[in-house]
Amino acid sequence: MRIICPYCGERELGEFTYLGDAKPQRPAADAGEDAVYDYVYLRDNIAGVMSEHWYHGGGCRAWLKVTRNTLTHEISAVEPAAGVGAAKVGA
């Protein structure tokens, strides 16, 4: 598996660290316990195309949003993750 970083180009997997599914959103501070439980512990654990967060620690140190198929490891898109990284390139 190689990831084409939008800042650095195509790099080998060892430069990247995986966080996980990009879908869970941190609930509001006053959300109930169930919402926090859902966010922290429960996962869709998709078998197929999944959007996920990777960190390019061995390169530009930006957070990336990678669209990848968990059945085949095929990567169909890599974008800067929302936040500082995305702001840099106006994404």
Amino acid at 57: G
Enter the tokens of residue 38.
Answer: 């859902």
At 72, list the tokens: 């085949």
- Asked if 52 interacts with other proteins (CB under 8 A), we say yes
CB of 29 to other proteins, least distance (A): 19
Should residue 10 be labelled a site residue for other proteins when binding is judged by CB under 8 A?
Answer: no
* DSSP classification of residue 40: H
DSSP 3-state assignment of 35?
Answer: helix
Residue 32 binds other proteins (CB under 8 A): no
Q: CA dist 73 to 33, 66, 80, Å?
A: 34, 11, 19
For position 45 contacting other proteins by CB under 8 A, the verdict is: yes
Min. distance of Cβ 1 from other proteins in angstroms?
A: 5
List residues binding other proteins (CB under 8 A).
1, 12-14, 17-18, 20-21, 33, 37, 40-47, 50, 52, 68, 70-73
